[in-house]
């Protein structure tokens, strides 16, 4: 098999998968109709709750609890959004979240692909030991480490800084194994050839490995970005200063601090959902939701 | 053509075997150093933010204080306290119960949706985006959204209940309903993610096998049980491990919605750990509880690895 | 270095080289010298360790024992990139995300001392592409090329480095038969043009016999024989080489030397052509090369037997002839000779047709003389 033509492979894979979609599973007319019905129900359940958020965010708090609820606010009230940006550092939260998530994603993709390359392709003393240690620690729940992590970060003098949010997630080894599973698929001869052609290990990594695993990295990147964007418990603990806070924690503060201002809260949730949705739609084209499950195969 | 002088084939080694050993060691050391340079950034983060905290946890389970006064060795006191603390037991029970409800539910629903997505000829892309929207929300946001959906007065569910002639249900105010409700919210949020995961697994399955099965006259359900499920084993393995690790850390939605109530029916381990640090400042107790959580997750994932191992 | 150091006109010198993985020995210690400009083929069945030798020379595998010298320099502990060798891989190992031009130029863009100017790189890329007739394809991606074209890209990428030694690991085995013959010719043309020492790994005896100045036959991690293609054919060192080279395969028969020191084969006697007569009572193996045996109508034929089976090959055909006593030979016959199973066939042997091996399989001598008994 000429497995080295990974890109060619990918292209053919896309075609083949359509083929499989037709050949593999039920494709009789009733089965397809049933599938559409199931998906319609699924999409409805996924989306209807958001209607509350959209609707409420444009209502004044006083008109909220009319019964039966009217879905279309009249008149459209912009005050919630004004308050969000005027009375709360919402823009700052958004920037913090995007900055921290972006930084974590970039650093993790970089570090994980480097480590994945070493584990996938290099022979070195202690390789099995390192791999086993990292694999075991995949199963360590981060929220069980919040107490010691708090003291470590405090000891390093990083509480209330971006660093407190960016550095600890880098320790999660899951991404290494995902990157490794992408890199294992690159034929050994390709790096061997580059090595003979005069490339250093770092050059092989940058010029051969990285371009070839880009589809996988897009998925891993989206996955990392999303986990980071939605993370809550650690920012809650590591950052006290509201100006350094991230969206998830900031929004939850809108609720508890001002009793139940549902209009404001909804506006916050709606505004917070927009950046990540845009990011998702942007990468969605390149985003063949790849099999990440290979990561834990040994 | 040139031919080799036969005298040459008797060429001797130019270095002694000690010199060879020394040079080989140096050469190998260089490749090992390169490998560790590649692992370096990760290993540093790993040591500082994972290894040291875990060791710190273990040490702290045998100590007390440390926030205000100096730490003091107390032997097994923390362990005794933790095991005899009824709320600690409740928190573990709640967390496990929550996972036992949320994980199977989200897997079954996601599998059905993935099969449906896999079966349809067109229109998949917008459906995938729509299904994925809940997954993109932080858990606290999902929780707040559901306060609308579940609201006794204007929530859509109670609207339906009233229309059917029942009394409005206070989902989050009821000790038996609160935890399943929290699990339901997580199912809503997680479905998109697992649907995409399973869909990716289904798409990667070899089509030829299905052709063969179809020719053998296997029906759709039989094909699913006999072929699809076993072939998806690696996907399930990843899914089960990952879902277990994530769900046993239940915190965000409980923190945002019930703060453990009513009557501690939704206190999770993570919430209790958080409280032990920020409410009562009992680090020894919190560390012990944390360490228990670490061990629980390690044992559970180990057990799952054993049960889902490749039996070839 | 010391006076023992290999001569400079030896491009590659392997001294007591061996390879093992843990306790598993995959290559027994061996010596091999390749002269400047020489084309040496490593031939053997899969898993015999031939690719391992290339990888050790390239630096992709560690050498367990012994020394490898390239252009007079010990390279055991030199990084692959500093060894002055270029390699062509079985799967071509082209960089799928780069154009043909970038693939070929890659080794030059990696060069640091001296760092080459873009114009120089471009000029040398065009020259290398021209040597392998790829000029019209420079801007394509590997996926858009045929197998033969991909192989030529890999060759150009090796040529452009102007290395001291070329290593080729079964470069033609992924091509279909027709293309393989063409590529064999182009490879030899390129070799004649650049005249660099080449080590070429293959399991295909035709490639080995047609291309090599010398062939190294390997089996199960051991060198069986090193020699010119002609030597392997006329004087195989052992039964393995005798059977591996030549088609159809040489049949072997285990016999015992009689007390009179004469070897009786069916109803004829064979006399060894060595100075020392065969030891009475020794167990030997006798092989008769099918392509050196032919049917004849002469009454003075060496063997007479009964035709059993006939393989028609177009240019000629081969008959299996039963000589009685459980012995049989395979004999070349005219393509359209009218022989049916059961017919009596007379067989003549050319000089060099018969080989005698000892119990361990090593060749003792040929047996060129044959005489009808009785």
Q: Are residues B262 and B136 in the same domain?
A: yes
CATH number of the CATH domain containing A185 = 1.10.3720.10
Residues C210 and C268 in one domain: no
Phi and psi (nearest 5°) for C254?
Answer: -85, 130
CATH number of the domain at C64, please: 3.40.50.300
Q: Clarify whether residues A165 and A67 are in a common domain.
A: no
> Which domain-ending residue is among A77, A104, A120?
A77
- DSSP state letter for C311: E
DSSP states of B261-297: -STTTT--HHHHHHHHHHTS--HHHHHHHHHHHHHHH
Range(s) of the domain holding residue C92: 10-240
CB C328 within 8 A of CB C293: no
For residue A149, is it within any domain?
A: yes
- The set of residues, in sequence order, having a beta carbon less than 8 Å from that of C185 and lying 6+ positions away, is none
Instruction: Say whether both B36 and B92 belong to one domain.
Output: no
What confidence score (pLDDT) does residue A43 get?
Answer: 95
Q: Give A293 to chain B, closest Cα distance, Å.
A: 5
The reply to whether A72 and A188 lie within a common domain is: no
A-chain residue closest to C96, CA distance: A5
For β-strands C268-271 and C369-372, DSSP reports them as antiparallel
* Same domain as B289, residue B193: yes
Q: Note whether C251 and C232 are same-domain residues.
A: no
Cβ contact (<8 Å) for B14 and C77? no
| Residue A18 pLDDT | 42
Q: Are residues C99 and C36 in the same domain?
A: yes
pLDDT in the model for residue B179 = 94
Q: What are the residues whose beta carbons fall under 8 Å from the beta carbon of B173, sequence distance 6 or more?
A: B262
Q: Which of A147-156, B230-239, C188-197, C254-263 has the lowest mean pLDDT?
A: C254-263
Number of domains comprising chain B: 2
Looking at the structure, do residues C317 and C209 belong to the same domain, yes or no? no
- The CA distance from A206 to C96, in Å, is 14
Query: Which residue among A146, A249, A289 sits closest to B274, beta carbon to beta carbon?
Result: A146
Question: Quick one: how far is CA C192 from the chain centroid?
Answer: 19
Which of A142, A144, A170 should be substituted to probe chain B, the one whose Cβ sees the most B Cβ atoms within 10 Å? A144
Is residue B3, in this structure, part of any structural domain at all? no
A-contacting residues of B 77-116, CB under 8 Å? 109, 112-113, 115-116
Q: What CA–CA distance (Å, rounded) separates C92 from C168?
A: 10
- CA distance linking residue C61 with residue A36, whole number of Å: 56
pLDDT tens per residue, range B55-80: 988 888 888 765 556 677 888 888 88
pLDDT at B97: 95
Contacts of B27 in chain C (CB under 8 A): 76-77
Chain A contact for B191, CB < 8 A?
yes
Query: How crowded is residue A68: how many other Cβ atoms within 10 Å of its Cβ?
Result: 8
Could you say which of A42, A117, A269 has the minimum Cβ distance to residue B113? A42
Looking at the fold, whether A68 and A166 belong to one and the same domain comes out as: no
pLDDT band at A245 (very low <50, low <70, confident <90, very high): very high
Nearest to A8 among C87, C143, C174 (CB): C143
Domain containing residue B162: CATH number: 1.10.3720.10
Compute how many other C-beta atoms are within 10 angstroms of the C-beta atom of residue C182.
12
Nearest CA of chain A to the CA of C28: how many Å? 23
Task: Provide mean pLDDT across the span A174-179.
Answer: 91
- Say if the Cβ atoms of A190 and C95 lie within 8 Å: yes
Q: With an 8 Å Cβ cutoff, is C198 touching chain B?
A: no
Section A81-101 average pLDDT: 91
pLDDT (mean) for A182-193: 91
Q: B225: which DSSP letter? A: I
The predicted model gives A139-144 an average pLDDT of 86
pLDDT at position A137 is 86
Q: What pLDDT, on a 0 to 100 scale, did the predictor assign at position C10?
A: 84
Tell me if A13 is assigned to some domain: no
- Cβ count near A19 (within 10 Å): 11
Please tell me whether residues B297 and B198 are part of one structural domain: yes
Best probe of the A interface among C59, C79, C87, C91, by most A CBs < 10 A, is: C91
pLDDT of residue C374: 42
Instruction: Mark which of C207, C224, C240 sits at the end of a domain.
Output: C240
Contacts (Cβ under 8 Å, ≥6 apart) of C99: C138, C139, C140, C141
* DSSP states of chain A: --TT-HHHHHHHHHHHHHHHHHHHS--SHHHHHHHHHHHHHHHHHHHHHHHHHHHHHTS-GGGTT-SSPPSS-SS---HHHHHHHHTS-HHHHHHHHHHHHHHHHHHHHHHHHHHHHHHHH---TTHHHHHHHHHHHHTS-GGGGHHHHHHHHHHTT-TTSHHHHHSGGGG-THHHHHHHHHHHTS-HHHHHHHHHTT--HHHIIIIIIHHHTHHHHHHHHHHHHHHHHT--HHHHHH---GGG--HHHHHHHHHHHTS--HHHHHHHHHHHHHHHHHHHHHHHTT------GGGG--
The whole-number pLDDT of residue C3 equals 36
Say if residues C365 and C353 touch (Cβ distance below 8 Å): no
Q: What mean pLDDT do residues A47-63 have? A: 82
In a domain, C86, yes or no: yes
Residue of A nearest to C155 (CA): A193
Which of these three, C190, C220, C240, is where a domain ends? C240
Q: Which residue of B has its CA nearest to A256?
A: B256
Q: How many structural domains is chain C composed of?
A: 2
The pLDDT value recorded for residue A256 is 61
Choose the closest CB to C2 out of B4, B5, B14: B14
Q: Which residue has tokens 């040459």?
A: B8
Residue-level pLDDT at B1: 37
Residues A108 and A61 reside in one and the same domain = no
Give the count of beta carbons closer than 10 Å to the beta carbon of residue B121.
11
Q: Could you tell me which chain B residue has the CA closest to the CA of C9?
A: B4
Give the one of B1, B12, B14 whose C-beta lies nearest to C74's C-beta: B14
- C233 min Cα distance to partner chain B (Å): 19
Residue B222 and residue B195 share a domain: yes
Question: Which B residues in the span 222-241 are in contact with A, Cβ-Cβ below 8 Å?
Answer: 223-224, 228, 234-235, 237-239, 241
Shared domain for B124 and B237, answered yes or no, is yes
Six token digits for residue C20: 């093992």
User: What would the pLDDT profile of A217-226 be if each residue is shown by its tens digit?
Assistant: 988 999 899 9
Q: Do the domain assignments include residue C52?
A: yes
- Which chains does A contact via 3+ CB–CB distances below 8 A? B, C
Range of the domain at B32: 15-73
Give pLDDT, residue B69. Answer: 61
Nearest C-alpha in C relative to A3: C91
Domain carrying residue A54: 26-77
- Give the least confident one: B94-98, B177-181, B241-245, B307-311: B307-311
Residue-wise pLDDT tens digits, B164-221 = 888 888 888 888 999 999 999 999 999 999 999 898 888 888 777 777 777 777 677 8
- Residue in B243, B256, B268, B246 with CA at minimum distance from that of residue B141: B256
Q: Is residue A2 part of a domain?
A: no
| Residue C194 sits in the same domain as residue C295 | no
Which positions ≥6 away from C270 have C-beta within 8 Å?
A: C262, C263, C264, C286, C354, C356, C367, C369, C370
Mutation choice for B interface testing from C5, C15, C188 by most B CBs within 10 A: C15
Cβ of A189 within 8 Å of Cβ of C90? The answer is yes
Chains touching C, CB cut-off 8 Å, 3+ pairs: A, B
Together in a domain, C224 and C115: yes
Domain presence at residue A216 = yes
Domain presence at residue B8: no
Among chain C residues, CA nearest to B12: C4
Q: Are C123 and C155 in a shared domain?
A: yes
Residue A144 lies in a domain: yes
Regarding whether B91 and B49 lie in a shared domain, the answer is: no
List per-residue pLDDT tens for chain C, 374 residues long. 333 444 557 888 888 898 998 888 899 888 888 988 899 999 999 888 889 999 999 989 888 888 898 888 888 888 888 888 999 998 889 999 999 999 999 988 888 777 888 888 888 899 888 888 888 999 999 888 888 889 889 989 998 888 889 999 988 888 888 888 888 888 898 889 888 999 999 999 888 999 999 999 999 888 899 999 998 888 898 999 999 988 888 989 888 888 777 788 877 888 777 777 778 888 889 898 998 888 888 777 788 888 888 888 888 888 898 888 888 889 888 877 778 888 888 888 888 888 888 888 888 888 865 555 44
Q: Is residue B9 part of a domain?
A: no
Count of structural domains, chain A: 2
Task: Note whether A159 and A290 are same-domain residues.
Answer: yes
Instruction: Calculate mean pLDDT across residues A79-90.
Output: 86
Q: Count interface pairs A-B at CB distance under 8 A.
A: 335
Contacts of B233 (CB under 8 A, 6+ apart): B308, B310
Verify that B37 and B133 share a domain, yes or no: no
Q: Per-residue confidence at A7, pLDDT binned at 50, 70, 90? A: very low
For residue B28, being part of any structural domain is answered with: yes
pLDDT of residue A288: 52
> Are residues C257 and C154 both part of a single domain?
no
Cβ neighbours of A218 in B, within 8 Å: none
Does residue C274 share a domain with residue C170?
no
Residue A20, pLDDT > 50, answer: no
Same-domain status, B296 and B265: yes
The CA distance from C37 to the nearest CA of chain B, in Å, is 8
Question: How far A286 CA sits from the closest chain B CA (Å)?
Answer: 12
Phi-psi region of C72 (alpha: psi -120 to 50; beta: other; left: phi over 0): left
Same-domain status, A107 and A241: yes
**In chain C, which residues have their Cβ closer than 8 Å to the Cβ of B4?**
10, 33-35, 38
Residue of B nearest to A148 (CA): B53
Q: For residue A293, report the phi and psi dihedrals to the nearest 5 degrees.
A: -70, -15
Same structural domain for residues A73 and A153? no
CB contact under 8 A, A197 and C106: yes
* Contact at CB, A5 and C112, closer than 8 angstroms: no
For chain C, how are helix, strand and coil distributed in percent, rounded to 5?
Answer: 25, 35, 40
Enclosing H/E stretch for B234: helix B233-247
Which of B10, B12, B26, B28 to mutate to test binding with chain C, by most C CBs within 10 Å of its CB? B12
A210 at the C interface (CB within 8 A)? no
How far CA B297 is from CA of A90, B82, B272, B283, B293, in Å, comes to 36, 17, 17, 21, 6
């Amino acid at each position: 098999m000429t497995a080295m033509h990974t890109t060619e492979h990918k292209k053919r894979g896309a075609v083949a998968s359509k083929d499989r979609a037709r050949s593999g599973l039920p494709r009789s007319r009733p089965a397809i109709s049933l599938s559409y019905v199931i998906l319609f129900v699924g999409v409805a359940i996924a989306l209807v709750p958001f209607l509350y958020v959209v609707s409420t965010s444009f209502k004044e708090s006083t008109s909220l609890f009319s019964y039966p609820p009217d879905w279309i606010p009249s008149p459209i009230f912009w005050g919630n959004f004004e308050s969000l940006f005027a009375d709360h550092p919402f823009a700052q939260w958004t920037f913090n979240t995007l900055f921290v998530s972006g930084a974590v994603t970039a650093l993790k993709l970089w570090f994980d692909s480097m480590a994945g390359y070493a584990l996938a392709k290099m022979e070195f003393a202690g390789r099995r030991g390192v791999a086993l240690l990292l694999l075991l620690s995949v199963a360590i729940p981060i929220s069980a480490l919040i107490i010691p992590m708090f003291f470590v970060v405090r000891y390093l003098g990083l509480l209330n800084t971006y660093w407190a949010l960016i550095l600890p997630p880098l320790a999660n080894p899951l991404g290494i194994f995902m990157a490794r599973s992408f890199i294992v698929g690159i034929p050994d001869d390709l790096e061997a050839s580059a090595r003979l052609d005069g490339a250093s290990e770092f050059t092989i990594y940058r010029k051969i490995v990285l371009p070839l695993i880009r589809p996988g990295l897009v998925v891993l990147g989206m996955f990392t970005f999303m986990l980071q964007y939605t993370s809550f418990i650690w920012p809650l603990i590591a950052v006290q200063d509201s100006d350094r806070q991230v969206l998830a924690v900031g929004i939850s503060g809108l609720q508890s601090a001002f009793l139940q201002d549902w209009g404001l809260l909804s506006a916050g949730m709606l505004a917070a959902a927009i950046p990540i949705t845009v990011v998702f739609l942007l990468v969605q084209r390149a985003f063949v939701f790849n099999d990440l499950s290979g990561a834990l195969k040994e | 053509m040139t031919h080799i002088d036969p005298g040459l084939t008797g060429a001797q080694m130019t270095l002694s075997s000690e010199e060879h050993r020394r040079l080989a060691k140096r050469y190998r050391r260089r490749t090992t150093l390169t490998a560790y340079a590649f692992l370096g950034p990760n290993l540093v983060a790993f040591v500082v933010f994972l290894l040291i905290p875990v060791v710190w946890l273990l040490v702290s389970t045998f100590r007390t204080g440390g926030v205000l006064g100096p730490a003091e060795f107390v032997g097994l006191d923390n362990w005794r306290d933790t095991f005899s603390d009824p709320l600690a037991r409740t928190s573990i029970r709640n967390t496990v119960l929550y996972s036992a409800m949320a994980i199977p539910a989200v897997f079954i629903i996601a599998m059905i949706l993935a099969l449906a997505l896999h079966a349809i000829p067109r229109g998949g892309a917008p459906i995938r985006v729509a299904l994925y929207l809940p997954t993109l929300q932080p858990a606290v946001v999902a929780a707040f959204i559901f306060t609308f959906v579940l609201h006794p007065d204007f929530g859509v569910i109670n609207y339906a209940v009233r229309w059917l002639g029942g009394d409005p249900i206070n989902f989050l105010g009821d000790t038996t309903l609160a935890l399943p409700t929290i699990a339901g919210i997580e199912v809503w949020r997680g479905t998109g993610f697992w649907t995409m995961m399973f869909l990716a697994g289904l798409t990667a399955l070899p089509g030829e096998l299905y052709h063969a099965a179809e020719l053998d006259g296997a029906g759709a359900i039989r094909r699913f049980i006999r072929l699809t499920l076993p072939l998806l084993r690696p996907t399930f393995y990843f899914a089960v491990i990952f879902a277990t690790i994530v769900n046993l850390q239940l915190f965000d939605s409980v923190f945002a919605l019930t703060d453990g109530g009513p009557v501690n029916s939704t206190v999770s381990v993570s919430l209790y750990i958080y409280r032990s640090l920020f409410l009562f400042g009992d680090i020894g107790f919190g560390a012990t509880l944390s360490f228990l959580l670490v061990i629980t997750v390690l044992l559970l994932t180990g057990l799952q690895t054993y049960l889902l191992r490749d039996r070839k | 270095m010391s006076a023992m150091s290999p001569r400079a006109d030896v491009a590659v010198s392997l001294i007591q080289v061996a390879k093992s993985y843990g306790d598993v020995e995959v290559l027994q210690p061996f010596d091999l010298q390749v002269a400047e400009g020489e084309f040496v083929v490593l031939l053997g069945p899969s898993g015999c360790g031939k690719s391992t030798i290339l990888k050790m020379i390239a630096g992709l595998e560690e050498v367990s024992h012994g020394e490898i010298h390239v252009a007079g320099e010990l390279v055991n502990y030199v990084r692959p990139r500093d060894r002055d060798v270029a390699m062509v891989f079985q799967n071509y190992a082209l960089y799928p995300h780069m154009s043909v031009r970038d693939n070929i130029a890659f080794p030059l863009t990696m060069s640091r001392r001296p760092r080459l100017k873009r114009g120089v790189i471009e000029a040398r890329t065009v020259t290398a592409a021209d040597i392998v007739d790829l000029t019209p394809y420079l801007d394509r991606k590997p996926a858009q090329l045929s197998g033969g074209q991909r192989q030529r890209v890999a060759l150009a990428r090796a040529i452009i480095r102007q290395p001291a030694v070329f290593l080729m690991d079964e470069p033609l085995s992924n091509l279909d038969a027709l293309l393989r013959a063409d590529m064999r010719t182009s490879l030899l043309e390129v070799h004649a043009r650049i005249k660099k020492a080449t080590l070429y790994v293959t399991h295909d005896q035709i490639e080995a016999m047609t291309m090599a100045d010398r062939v190294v036959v390997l089996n199960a991690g051991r060198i069986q024989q090193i020699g010119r293609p002609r030597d392997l054919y006329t004087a195989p060192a052992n039964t393995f080489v005798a059977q591996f080279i030549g088609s159809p395969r040489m049949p072997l028969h285990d016999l015992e030397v009689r007390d009179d020191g004469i070897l009786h084969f069916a109803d004829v006697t064979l006399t060894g052509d060595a100075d020392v007569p065969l030891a009475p009572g020794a167990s030997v193996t006798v092989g008769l090369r099918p392509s050196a045996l032919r049917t004849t109508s002469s009454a003075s034929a060496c063997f007479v037997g009964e035709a059993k089976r006939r393989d028609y090959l177009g240019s000629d055909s081969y008959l299996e002839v039963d000589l009685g006593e459980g012995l049989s030979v395979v004999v070349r016959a005219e393509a359209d000779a009218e022989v049916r199973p059961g017919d009596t066939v007379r067989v003549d042997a050319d000089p060099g047709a018969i080989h005698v091996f000892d119990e361990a399989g090593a060749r003792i001598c040929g047996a060129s003389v044959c005489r009808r008994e009785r």
